[in-house]
Amino acid sequence: MEPPAHLTSRRQRKIWEQQQKDNAAKRHKPHHDPFRTLERHFKAPHPSMEDVIDLHAPHDKLIAVPLAHPLTSDVFGPQITSQTAYIVKDIPGLIVIPNPFSPEAQRAMIAQCLTDFARPPNTSNHDAFFKIPETGLWPLYVAEQSGAKSIPTVPPKEKSQGAFLANSLLSPTDMLRKQRWVTLGYQYHWGTKEYDLERDIKVPSTVGEMAVDVVTAIQGIGGEGWTNSYQANDFAAEAGVINYYQIKDTLMAHVDKSELNMEAPLVSASFGLSCIYLLGGPTKETPPVALRLSSGDIIVMTGACRKAYHGVPRILEGTLPDYLGSDAFGDQLDGELLGKWMNSTRINLNIRKVFPSSTSLETP
Ligand SMILES: O=C(O)CCC(=O)C(=O)O
Ligand SMILES: [Fe+2]
């Protein structure tokens, strides 16, 4: 279309042309892929939970499957009451195990995720800027909460950053609140999206044991057109991530594809507050399912699901089980603070194999 005749100056005509273009762009609605659409749904206030699959309620997409081997690890508690797994219709490769942990076993895992596991040499998002003490942040937080006269602070990493950070030194409580992740085993660098294979740090033994037990239990499980044929003997827990979520925190859609071994299952456990977990397919065009994951629930991404988009658009406030609440961890200050912390926290612990397994390279 030509600019109207009354616009005579070159400048006016240019402005008019630009306006036409802008209006055309506005008319052309942006394309929201199905993953993004559902993410936005769950980020909005009071989303409908209608289509959410709760691992603890019957759903026509949840199909019970027998475990190949029962779970046996003490990590789940002295006796494991639940030995049921489910596959999820339309999501090949996804295997879920609703909470097999005893309350004590969950408390033990949570306490370790907040204390021992979150200490050097394991690194956290804070390591780029701060020199985290050997004790990790938790004892500093406890000291601060106990009303200690001199509140310990965490020093910045380098002198050059010191000047900048001196003005923004955070209290241990704030530091802990902003601790979003800790890496276990081979340390992952989110910036370069690579593992530091030089530093052979071990995944904590209880975490490794849990993952191996789960991988053994689900060997051979399958659904329509797929089977998890991954041999548990080939599995070892070589790396892990602990994600810490406060109520407003989310994790955007992504695929975990930095491991050299993309065939091995990824084992992922939830503790504390429940969440909405979206799981789709190889692109964000595959409409995801929405799962409600509660404390103790385990999901395993095998086969095709290992390469599927997933994310956490919402943490569900007020969903902490009583057995993790303020009195549950004991009446010492440390215990009280663990329960109080969990009232606004979800912890996700996920475990991966990084290297291709040596046995699978052998010719039969
Ligand atoms: O928090 C979760 O359940 C998922 C975490 C996750 O996807 C990851 O760490 O890659
Ligand atoms: Fe992930």
pLDDT of residue 168: 63
Q: Within this chain, do residues 240 and 270 fall inside the same structural domain, yes or no?
A: yes
Token pair for residue 305? 């699901």
pLDDT of residue 217: 97
Give percent of the chain with pLDDT exceeding 70.
Answer: 95
Q: Which atom number of ligand 1 is nearest to the Cα of residue 181?
A: 9
For the chain, where are the alpha helices, taking DSSP H only? 10-27, 34-43, 103-114, 138-145, 159-166, 172-177, 205-217, 333-342
pLDDT of residue 169: 76
pLDDT of residue 286: 96
Nearest CA to ligand 1 atom 10: 256
Contacts of 91 (CB under 8 A, 6+ apart): 279, 289, 305, 308
- Rounded mean pLDDT of 53-66? 96
Q: Within this chain, do residues 81 and 158 fall inside the same structural domain, yes or no?
A: yes
- Give the integer Cα–Cα distance in Å for 34 and 20: 30
pTM of the model: 0.89
Q: Within this chain, do residues 2 and 108 fall inside the same structural domain, yes or no?
A: no
pLDDT of residue 357: 76
pLDDT at 163 over 60: no
pLDDT tens sequence across 289-330: 999 999 999 999 999 999 999 999 999 999 999 999 988 999
Q: Which atom number of ligand 1 is nearest to the Cα of residue 270?
A: 3
pLDDT of residue 359: 46
Nearest alpha-carbon partner for 308 in 252, 230, 256, 239: 256
Q: Within this chain, do residues 8 and 99 fall inside the same structural domain, yes or no?
A: no
Torsion sign over Cα 245, 300, 352, 120: positive
pLDDT at 159 over 70: no
The CATH number that applies at residue 198 is 2.60.120.590
pLDDT tens sequence across 180-239: 999 999 888 888 888 888 888 999 999 999 999 999 999 999 999 999 999 999 999 999
Q: Within this chain, do residues 38 and 26 fall inside the same structural domain, yes or no?
A: no
Q: Within this chain, do residues 271 and 347 fall inside the same structural domain, yes or no?
A: yes
- Give the integer Cα–Cα distance in Å for 107 and 104: 5
Q: Within this chain, do residues 75 and 113 fall inside the same structural domain, yes or no?
A: yes
Domain that residue 258 falls in? 34-361
Q: Within this chain, do residues 289 and 267 fall inside the same structural domain, yes or no?
A: yes
Give percent of the chain with pLDDT exceeding 90.
Answer: 72
Q: How many structural domains does the chain have?
A: 2
Q: Within this chain, do residues 229 and 322 fall inside the same structural domain, yes or no?
A: yes
Q: Within this chain, do residues 254 and 148 fall inside the same structural domain, yes or no?
A: yes
Q: Indicate the SS3 state at residue 329.
A: coil
Quickly state the pLDDT bin for 362 (edges 50, 70, 90): very low
Measuring from each residue's beta carbon to the nearest atom of ligand 1, which residues come in under 6 Å?
241, 243, 251, 256, 268, 277, 310, 312, 348, 350
pLDDT tens sequence across 268-279: 999 999 999 999
Q: Within this chain, do residues 191 and 99 fall inside the same structural domain, yes or no?
A: yes
Give the Å distance between the CA of 73 and the centre of ligand 2. 25
Mutation choice for ligand 1 from 94, 299, 310, CB with most ligand atoms inside 8 A: 310
Q: Within this chain, do residues 327 and 187 fall inside the same structural domain, yes or no?
A: yes
Give the Å distance between the CA of 3 and the centre of ligand 1. 53
pLDDT of residue 95: 98
pLDDT tens sequence across 24-54: 877 776 778 999 999 999 999 999 999 999 9
Ligand nearest to the CA of 306: 2
Question: In this structure, what are the phi and psi dihedrals at residue 53, rounded to the nearest 5 degrees?
Answer: -95, 110
pLDDT of residue 361: 45
